[in-house]
């Protein structure tokens, strides 16, 4: 195998050109992809289009398999993923033209996760380049733990049978392995941006967390010069559509500020990179026990974040998708940041019976002066429900956390 790599490497890099780079070819070889003819790196959109890239139809709901998470069992085993990766790298090594794009998840150089895309299709690179934040090629090649996306659009559909995964549909599938820090997009899976983002968000969590960032399933709202961090279910988020920096549930909170995980049209301005002026936790309680709006201490905020209460159901950390980080660890880190930066935090009940609360109404509520501290409006067993759920799911909840 080593002789094959050396032979192919010497053949493809005998004369340097914009399509040939010793460093790039060695880097790709380290990821299992041997450049057969040409490797085009970090082409602009116009250049990708000249190479045949087109804007493809968006897809959704493709199978997503992520290994190494806490909340969701994966349908793909370690052995199956290894076989799949070998199939994909062999396929990419057989293609004449390889397209490479370097980017990042999160835009802070101190806490982002570097990403390298390797694909047989300029169309896949074009679409994925609109998701990732820009970063330098050197930053990716010198990073200690970059993520790798393999987009094999022309691989045989029979690959799912070869690895024993079973039928995955006509448009392909998404597979990721946290341990390998890699994501595989087979067939047209690169067009399922929501599924791709979900997998990438999970893969990036350990890297971002290790670098001091806090990956959260939240959104950012812009109101004037203020940036507000909001945790809320999807039906509530829709009422904020015109105020959202990004519709995606994913941000990184660090000591420098807060920004979305993925690039959006609105999120390019540097003025957004600041600490949030407020944090909103949206809960839903139709029993009348929780007030419309109330102020939380950092300990209360961490407790209600950990519970993620939504009208009888608990969604710890407000996250429905797969995750590599325990919700209790996220709550502890959030508590620390709220306390350190003294960020005002509010609990808003969006599920009061007979009331419909719109996004702008919520912003007006939390902008009022003299908002009362949180206190139940009436008795009942709601506090007991919280305690029963959290004590049963998590061990050793910090004493600072309180209802």
**295 and 233 within one domain:** yes
The pLDDT confidence band at residue 182, using thresholds 50, 70 and 90, is very high
Residue 325 sits at φ, ψ, to 5 deg, of -115, 135
**306 and 220 within one domain:** yes
**pLDDT at residue 299 in the model:** 97
Last residue of a domain, one of 211, 243, 271: 211
The pLDDT confidence band at residue 13, using thresholds 50, 70 and 90, is very low
Find, among 168, 175, 186, the residue nearest to 64 by Cα: 175
The per-residue pLDDT of the chain, averaged, comes to 88
Classify residue 10: in a domain, yes or no: no
| CATH code assigned at 273 | 3.90.228.20
Q: Give the whole-angstrom CA distance, residue 331 versus residue 366.
A: 22
**pLDDT at residue 8 in the model:** 54
**183 and 302 within one domain:** no
Tell me which DSSP letter residue 270 carries: G
Give the count of domains, the chain: 2
pLDDT digits (tens, 9 = 90+) for 332-381: 999 999 999 999 999 999 887 656 666 677 777 777 778 999 999 876 78
| CATH code assigned at 197 | 3.40.449.10
Q: Give the whole-angstrom CA distance, residue 344 versus residue 365.
A: 13
**231 and 93 within one domain:** no
Q: Give the whole-angstrom CA distance, residue 89 versus residue 67.
A: 19
Last residue of a domain, one of 211, 230, 247: 211
**339 and 257 within one domain:** yes
Q: What is the dihedral of CA 71, 73, 78, 83, to 10 degrees?
A: -120
**276 and 128 within one domain:** no
**389 and 247 within one domain:** yes
**296 and 162 within one domain:** no
**252 and 156 within one domain:** no
Last residue of a domain, one of 165, 195, 211: 211
**253 and 349 within one domain:** yes
Domain with 353, as residue range(s), is 214-393
């Amino acid at each position: 195998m080593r002789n094959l790599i050396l032979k192919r490497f010497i053949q493809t890099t005998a004369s340097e050109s914009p399509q040939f780079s010793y460093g790039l070819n060695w880097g790709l070889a380290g990821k299992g992809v041997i450049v057969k003819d040409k490797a085009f790196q970090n082409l602009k959109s116009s250049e990708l289009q000249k190479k045949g890239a087109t804007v493809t139809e968006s897809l959704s709901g493709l199978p997503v398999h992520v290994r190494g998470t806490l909340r969701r069992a994966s349908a793909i085993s370690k052995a199956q993923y290894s076989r799949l990766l070998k199939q994909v790298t062999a396929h990419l090594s057989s293609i004449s033209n390889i397209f490479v794009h370097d980017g990042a998840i999160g835009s802070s150089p101190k806490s982002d996760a570097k990403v390298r895309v390797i694909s047989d299709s300029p169309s896949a690179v074009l679409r994925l380049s609109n998701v990732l934040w820009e970063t330098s090629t050197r930053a990716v090649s010198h990073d200690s733990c970059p993520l790798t996306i393999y987009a094999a659009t022309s691989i045989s559909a029979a690959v799912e049978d070869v690895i024993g995964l079973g039928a995955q549909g006509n448009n392909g599938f998404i597979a990721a392995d946290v341990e390998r820090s890699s994501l595989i997009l087979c067939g047209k899976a690169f067009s399922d941006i929501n599924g791709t983002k979900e997998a990438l968000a999970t893969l990036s969590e350990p890297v971002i967390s290790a670098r001091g960032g806090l990956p959260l399933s939240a959104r950012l709202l812009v109101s004037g010069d203020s940036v507000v961090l909001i945790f809320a279910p999807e039906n509530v988020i829709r009422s904020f559509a015109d105020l959202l920096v990004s519709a995606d549930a994913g941000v990184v909170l660090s000591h420098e500020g807060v920004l979305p995980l993925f690039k959006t049209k609105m999120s390019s301005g540097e003025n957004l990179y600041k600490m949030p002026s407020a944090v909103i936790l949206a809960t839903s309680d139709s029993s009348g026990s929780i007030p419309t709006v109330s102020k939380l201490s950092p300990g209360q905020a961490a407790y209600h974040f950990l519970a993620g209460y939504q009208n009888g159901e608990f969604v710890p950390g407000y996250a429905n998708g797969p995750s590599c980080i325990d919700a209790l660890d996220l709550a502890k880190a959030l508590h620390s940041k709220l306390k350190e930066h003294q960020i005002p935090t509010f609990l808003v009940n969006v599920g009061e019976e007979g009331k419909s609360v719109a996004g702008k109404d919520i912003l007006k509520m939390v902008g009022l002066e003299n908002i009362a501290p949180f206190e139940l409006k009436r008795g009942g067993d709601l506090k007991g429900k919280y305690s029963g759920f959290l004590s049963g799911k998590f061990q050793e909840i910090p004493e600072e956390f309180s209802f």
